[in-house]
Amino acid sequence: MKRFHSLKKNSEFQAVYRTGKSYANKYLVMYVLDTDKQGNRIGISASKKFGNSVERHRFARLVRESFRLNEDILEDGKDIVVVARTAAKDKSFDKIESAFLHLCGLHNILKESK
């Protein structure tokens, strides 16, 4: 099984928050920071206002799966932090994936279709 690359340390999240660029839509807020590393890393954040631990973890799984399925169409060398908005609480995978790809398009991190 392929290892999942993610942001883990608070300092990594803070670096993306401080120096990264952010865009938001109805369900998600996405921060993106260019790095010189190979591949992309993702960090997922959902506050306690979002819901209990079951709801927060479900959201994280949906975003992680959206990232995994679309990782090959994203440009390399990015640190991405996805923050939950309360509107995303009970949404389906399709809506979360659509919101994720919409923000990737706003950040211009989708590879050009050839």
Of 45, 32, 39, 13, nearest to 80 by C-alpha is 32
Average pLDDT taken over every residue of the chain = 92
> Which amino acid does the sequence have at 25?
N
- 114 pLDDT higher than 60: no
Give residue-wise pLDDT tens across range 33-87.
Answer: 999 888 899 999 999 999 999 999 999 999 999 999 999 999 999 999 999 999 9
What's the pTM value of the predicted model, to 2 decimals? 0.92
Whether the pLDDT of residue 109 is over 80: the answer is: yes
Sequence spans of domains, the chain: 10-106
pLDDT at 112: 73
- Fill in the amino acid letter for 34: D
CATH 2.40.50.40 fits 10-106, yes or no: no
